[in-house]
Structure 1
């Protein structure tokens, strides 16, 4: 398709072309400059780079004057032999010259002379610069390694180094942008901007007119992210004296800052503190934009047109007039000496626009001109280069590639600028929810270099240099990509790579909270295979660390030097996994070897296990909790008795318990509980206390107790919003719960999972209400799912809920003025969240607080927090997933063999029992019909031969603490069944010892 051209302005035919047009007319361009590579035009100084590698400089006759006013003869500056100039830029006092080798020289400008001896900026060391930018009194330079340097005056913070220093003669690294892969930098009068490869824009310095685009006029002393330009696909920036323009990949132009001369192009002289698109340019695709001090130029390559707007006092708009223009208007190129030429050559040429103080320069270049190489960016991995890295055998070529590898992989910015997901411009959408990285490309690169040991070694050594440096990334998703990329590249299992991963893990854990949260968001955006690989890496590293600790202890060595970071990273990944709805199963986080260390009193390791409970499976968590309670118990074993004894009467069980708890001292809760039922023989080593919790729970949860609200549909209970008859009843029930956990007993109160989530500060959702009250949950889900407004409207819902009070129901508002706020498609999610919050939080705030306070008094070990909500419920309430065949498999025998007739008869009788009688058997054997948290697979009991002399006077009996069942040698199943059933019905008499 032919390119569009402005009528009358496109080339058609004619003579050879002049190299440039200058507005206003420049008398000093009398000599032939030949092929110009670049031009810089600033206050009182104009410089041009020629293709022969020299620089030509004109300086105004007097300080602050325009170069075209009484111009002096040009001076030519040439660097050392065989060193060519890449680009130049200047400020009020000096000229910067960047060589093709990336070396930066500084030349003083005093308006009387350009000193011939350049000063090489040795402070930059051997760093290769790729871009330079000068403001009025400050300068910036971007290195190929991605570091930004600034120097000069800092009155407004334009150096981005903070406000402590007023100026800096030597280049200083702008640490606030460390790790961000910058694509372009620009300097205004006293403000600075930078744009990243993914289009993120940062601004700092003077902001009196809003030229930073931050929505206010406060100066900024550090680079600040321009939120208003997020996801706008910014690819280029230009700064004027007090205004700024940005160019997007789609060819749109945004301007902001001072607008007093119309330089923003919005048909107004107002300032703009937010970036605003230039509406007059919506119909064209802009290729270039350049800001002068008070005017702006844009070039539309498709139309071969240049537009100008802003101050025209010196004729710099090219219109032949000296008035200002408030909107972009095209420049008449032919009227200014631009000869027409043949139609066919239009595609061979392009225009470069340069805006100075009061000048505009149009530089006509062949498209094959090397001007495009002037604004280079940082080094990064290009997909087409990877195969060359691996396949090149030429020693000379390998030398260059090795330098590139070392530069890229020892620079966070270069790594972050590589592997961008350019499919449909995805990397321009980089945010906390999207890394902008093509992780498949990273994986492919890792696999490829793994096949070339030489390349692989260079990459690893470069990363080693990087992680040994003190890296503090900028608070930006782009700066944190490095942790995603390196985790894949270093996943090969060798000693050095593992060490580097461990070091990276430590760096991650040392990040500021905000940066960690950003990284966690990036982790959550990973596809499941990559997320699982990440978990596998740190699970393996954690396992290796524990193996190392075990080996050290076997050698009787003190263990005080180990990495705890992989454990902590696993915990963070686990939390990310939980928030995203469990991408992968919990077992992927377990480190089986950890249970071997729990018995060793290594304080700092115990702390790690508490901070990273995800590495512990259920068995290990129970063991950790048990060990911790034993340690606490030992601390108080010096008291009169190592146990605290509770004497209760069966018929007054609740009353006796409350009296006992109210009189207990805090330290007594650290002792183990023994229960004695008054008037009943037996010594409690586990059985009577378990029965105590079982019976107490049954009585407190009964409807007539009026303590809890019973939900008949789910058979679950929740705190009642009604005021209880005893004010401290919820506190005392919390005591009971805490004591049950501390004493490893089951307190089978039928609470929903919501209770345990609240205890562990896990947010509750509609799913929790569905468990407690299925009908309510389904109704609220229907509100969320309803597609038609009229049906939702017919429900006549508002932000209220009915509450039981004094035997009747009253309406409670879920938010202020809730009775007058109808539920609509736009606020229904808020309504459902508020409803769930009311049921589980607001309506029972005082009750739950008292319960939790009581729980913490009853169970003073902190290790219970290692359990997940589902695990804590399992430990406290047990479960009812019965497997009677497994029970038989686990049985042990004392005095019997499995093949004995009595044993066969016993199991025949047992399996023939009704389900409820089988549950009674568990209660007969243990004091509760709930299965402990470890499950039926680990439920073991022993059948012991009874030594009664008179078998006819024998009844089956159990020792609950040791799970013994005594049986005589009967072979008749009928007799065994009769005796057995009688014992189950009267197990209080026979089951406890």
Structure 2
């Protein structure tokens, strides 16, 4: 371990040295032969985590932040944590958090602002205590601000507690400190990979590089193009397309690292800590141009300085405040541009011995307060810090975890696996973080046009985890979806990454099981339909990019649900359940309607006949359904609990549509007759009203049947065409009107079908005549 910077409180762990500042990297002999896994830097104290899970601290201890009463000049073990295997540590101004392998969080130090999460405001706690309110939740990460704290659970929830004057807890309120961890509800469903905290501001980073910030913004440290504080998490739209993979916070500034190795900084720049060759503040993320050309893989922010590491050439840069030697440049002069940290650094591909004078192969850099650290290792140590520790991430569904779940003897499901299944399938965050595409463009390109999801992978893995051989797993998944996940889905997700499960979950075989229609498929559709306009529009965009087989599977799923509901209804559902049946049927049809609209707008992803439900003729009385629909059109009754299939005509096949046309013709004719009779009745009392014949009279000559017919039709109004037809041949007496009408049709068809007319066609089965170039039946 190499260290440099402020040593006045012993925070460098160098023991009883005379210097108060160390201006260049110096070996910390205490860690010789020990492997350091994590370092937490507070304002004036430091916590070190070793490979065996033990924690050592040093530095200022005036508020108990070391967790022991031993020497503060050199690292001493926190004995109270001796029974714990600690995985991560983090330090605030004067408090410390530690996370163990069971996902439990311990805190100690200053607690006057509730930053310890112990449900009190004690001035100081000198012995680590378990945060009991988080005991039933598996925590994956912890992060300390100066006087506030955050935790990220394995289920993807972000918790916050402590000082809240600037809204740094992200709970939508300012001023009131909170001493018990609270869920940031506005971030629910988003798959986060990292949380970080600065002086009084905070950040959360998603798996696909979206950055959310909140809290103090006096210097623009939230990067939102203004200096207004935020009490709710707010998306940094300017970084959305930059593929951010890590965020580090200083006291009043922020640095973001991209997948390509670029560094963006913003916020307070008074000491040059932004690296832009100026002392200006920046309210928008700005790339550090002097680092361009280098693939930076690590960044770390101290109080008012920033460090960046490029392993390919073994280059470490620092910029900002240097008054305590924290830049490691052998100088106390501030640097406004990246300056090389002094030391023989070796490139990552070097085979040099780290104990020689030729160079150190740096594994990890850390900064905080006014101190800096570099953990170096042997050159053949292949551990790569850019690969996230699975224990410090949210739990996602992948090949490895499914293999673990299915690699047990069928029978009783082990409690550990059961809990893990429930964790994943009860969490929108976990599912939204699963099945991410690694192709080009990969999931870092997620947008309203691109979901970032690999649907083929989703289908493969979901079919692999739901197998007949392991029905216990399927039962656990179904229970988690029904009781936990679907009921908690928000109608206004905070980000597009929270919408991915609406694409992937229908690929799960459980959705296609008729036994789960009522408990899973329909509630899922209801949640989808309850989405507000903007997220629903994004889903429409994503659906429109589906391959036809994938899109059709979604359509077939909910066609199946409709058929199932109608079959159950025909068999007889008790009247008390009629309202529920109606709601279920309407929900399924409305979802099909949305999919039909998406398909049409995208130029028919699938053919229109793929939406036909051929079983309708057997399951409903189409004529009665049409009459009911007409009545609702004429006399709206509001929500009267009646669903008519005619509201969704795209599900009718040709046979059903023919029945509709025939029914409509009868209704239209009867309405025309009624209207004529009403007009005749009025004419008896109102001379101004002309009487009309309730029939359409055709007076024709046999020798000019077509011409006479066309002349009458030309003079007729639209309403006349709906009335019953009465045909009179000139000079002949019609005894049997029906017979005359039949004779008329035979004659006129003979004429119309003559090649000289050409434009007409006759269909024997349906007895329809139509213009061949105008109308399609």
**Superposition deviation, residue 908 in structure 1:** 11
- 1:364-403 to structure 2, matched below 5 A, reads 364-365=376-377, 367=381, 373=389, 376-393=392-409, 400-403=416-419
- Hey, what does 2:373 align to over in structure 1? 361
Residue 136 (structure 1) shift: 1.5
Query: Could you tell me which residue of structure 1 aligns to residue 110 of structure 2?
Result: 109
CA distance in 2, matches of 1:504, 1:528: 22
Write the deviation string for residues 237-293 of structure 1: whole angstroms up to 9, x where unpaired. 111111111111111111112222111111122222222221111111111000112
Aligned equivalents of 2:81, 2:42: Cα separation in 1? 25
Deviates more, 1:535-544 or 1:39-48: 39-48
Once the two structures are TM-superposed, the CA of residue 583 in structure 1 deviates from its matched residue by: 0.9
Distance 1:45 1:320 in 2: 22
2:266 aligned counterpart, secondary structure: strand
**Any idea what SS the aligned residue of 2:436 has?**
coil
1:583 corresponds, among 586, 590, 605, to: 605
Give 1:759's aligned residue: none
Which of 484, 487, 493 lines up with 2:513 in the alignment? 493
Question: What does residue 650 of structure 2 align with?
Answer: 614
- Match of residue 508 from structure 1: 528
**1:535 paired to 2:535:** no
Kindly report which structure 2 residues correspond to 1:534-933, keeping only aligned pairs within 5 A, or say none. 534-552=554-572, 559-562=578-581, 563=584, 564-594=586-616, 596-598=620-622, 599=624, 601=628, 604=640, 609=645, 612-617=648-653, 643-644=678-679, 694-695=713-714, 913-916=754-757, 919=760
Alignment partner of 1:465 out of 470, 473, 483:
483
Unmatched segments (≥5 aa) in structure 1? 1-18, 649-658, 665-671, 682-689, 698-735, 747-893, 937-993
Query: Cα–Cα, structure 1 residues 929 and 319, in superposed 2: closer, same or farther, change >3 Å?
Result: closer
Deviation by residue 1:840-881 (Cα, 9 ceiling, x = unmatched) = xxxxxxxxxxxxxxxxxxxxxxxxxxxxxxxxxxxxxxxxxx
Q: Distance in 2 between matches of 1:399 and 1:64?
A: 39
Q: Give 1:429's aligned residue.
A: 445
**What is the CA deviation profile of residues 439-461 of structure 1, one whole-angstrom value per residue up to 9, with x for unaligned ones?**
11112123323353333333323
- Closer, same or farther: CA 292–551 of 1 in aligned 2, 3 Å: same
Q: Which residue of 2 aligns with 1:56?
A: 56
**Aligned in 2, Cα 1:46/1:693: closer, same or farther, shift over 3 Å?**
farther
Note if 1:453 corresponds to 2:475.
Answer: no
- Conserved 8 A contact 1:694-1:928: no
SS at match of 2:396: coil
The 8 Å contact of residues 252 and 286 in structure 1, kept in 2 or not, is answered as yes
Q: How many residues align?
A: 691
Indicate whether 1:39 and 2:58 are aligned: no
Q: Is the 8 A contact 2:227 2:283 kept in 1?
A: yes
CA shift for structure 1 position 552: 2.5
Aligned in 2, Cα 1:622/1:48: closer, same or farther, shift over 3 Å?
same
Deviates more, 1:624-633 or 1:237-246: 624-633
Q: After the TM superposition, which of the residue ranges 325-334 and 117-126 deviates more from structure 2?
A: 117-126
Aligned residue in 2 for 1:186: 196
What displacement does 1:481 show? 0.8
What corresponds to 2:154 in structure 1?
144
1:916 is paired with a residue whose SS is: coil
Residue aligned with 1:149, SS: strand
Supply the distance in 2 between the matched residues of 1:745 and 1:332 (Cα, whole angstroms): 101
Maintained 8 Å contact 1:107/1:117: yes
Q: CA deviation at 1:76?
A: 3.6
- In structure 1, the partner of 2:495 is 476
Aligned partner of 2:455 among 433, 439, 447: 439
Q: Where in structure 2 are there 5+ consecutive unaligned residues? A: 16-28, 113-121, 346-350, 630-636, 701-708, 726-737
Superposed displacement of residue 674, structure 1: 5.8
Kept in 1, the 8 Å contact 2:170–2:233? The answer is yes
Name the residue aligned to 1:411: 427
Say whether the 8 Å CA contact 1:44–1:64 is kept in structure 2: no
- 1:193-232 residue pairs with structure 2 within 5 A? 193-232=203-242
- 1:243 aligned residue (253, 264, 271): 253
Report deviation, 1:121.
Answer: 1.8
1:266 aligns to what?
Answer: 276
Q: Which has the higher helix share?
A: 1
The alpha-carbon distance between structure 1 residues 65 and 328, as it changes in their structure 2 partners (threshold 3 A), is farther
In the alignment, the residues of structure 2 paired with residue 368 and residue 468 of structure 1 have an alpha-carbon distance, to the nearest angstrom, of: 42
Q: Which range moved further: 468-477 or 352-361?
A: 468-477
Cα–Cα, structure 1 residues 322 and 611, in superposed 2: closer, same or farther, change >3 Å?
Answer: farther
**Quick one: structure 1 residues 533 and 605, their matched pair in 2 at CA, closer, same or farther if it must change by over 3 Å?**
farther
**TM-score normalised over the length of structure 1:** 0.61
Once the 2 structures are TM-superposed, how far is the Cα of residue 45 of structure 1 from its aligned partner?
2.5
Please report how far the alpha carbon of residue 468 of structure 1 lies from its aligned counterpart in structure 2 after TM superposition.
Answer: 5.0
Cα separation, 1, equivalents of 2:613 and 2:395: 40
> Any conservation in 2 of the 1:694–1:927 contact (CA below 8 Å)?
no
Q: Is the 8 A contact 2:91 2:97 kept in 1?
A: yes
Contact 1:546–1:593, Cα closer than 8 Å, also in 2:
no
Q: Which residue pairs with 1:342 in the alignment?
A: 353
Compared CA separation, residues 307 and 491, structure 1 to 2 (3 A): same
- Paired residues for 1:300-315 under 5 Å: 300-315=310-325
Give the equivalent residue in structure 2 for 1:88: 89
Q: Contact between 1:619 and 1:934, CA under 8 Å: does it hold in 2?
A: no
Per the TM alignment, residue 104 of structure 1 is displaced from its structure 2 partner at its CA by 0.8
Matches within 5 A, 1:115-130: 115-130=125-140
SS at match of 2:125: coil
Can you list the C-alpha shifts for 1:272-324, whole angstroms capped at 9, x where unaligned? Answer: 22222211111111110001121100111111221101111211111121111
Asked whether the 8 Å contact 1:675–1:692 carries over to 2, the reply is no
1:104-131 deviation digits (Å, cap 9, x = unpaired) = 1221337999734433222224111111
Higher CA-based Rg: 1
Q: What RMSD, in angstroms, separates the aligned Cα atoms of the two structures?
A: 4.7
Q: Is contact 2:65–2:96 with CA below 8 Å preserved after alignment? A: no
CA gap of 1:245–1:66, structure 2 versus 1, over 3 A, is farther
- Structure 1 CA distance, aligned partners of 2:692 and 2:182? 67
Distance 1:920 1:357, change over 3 A: closer
* Conservation of the 8 A alpha-carbon contact between 2:204 and 2:211: yes
Cα 1:344–1:189 shift into 2, 3 Å: closer
- The answer to whether the 8 Å contact 2:271/2:279 transfers is yes
Question: 1:184, CA displacement in angstroms?
Answer: 0.9
Q: Is the 8 A contact 2:299 2:309 kept in 1?
A: yes
**Aligned partners of 1:646 and 1:674 also within 8 Å:** no
Deviations 1:674-713 (A, max 9, x none): 66789979xxxxxxxx98995258xxxxxxxxxxxxxxxx
Distance of 1:620 and 1:215 partners within structure 2? 59
How far did 1:592 drift?
A: 3.9
Match of 1:108, SS? strand
Q: Aligned residue for 1:78?
A: 79
- Kindly provide the CA deviation profile for residues 465-508 of structure 1, in whole angstroms up to 9, marking residues without a partner as x: 33453221623221111111110013432402563111100111
- Report SS of the residue matched to 1:415: helix
| Structure 1 position 279 matched with structure 2 position 289 | yes
Determine the C-alpha separation between the residues in 1 that align with 2:54 and 2:542.
Answer: 48
Rounded to whole Å, the distance in 2 between the matches of 1:175 and 1:431 is: 22
User: What CA distance in whole angstroms lies between the structure 2 residues aligned with 1:740 and 1:384?
Assistant: 73
- Asked if the contact 2:427–2:485 (Cα under 8 Å) also holds between the matched residues in 1, the reply is no
Deviation, structure 1 residue 920: 11
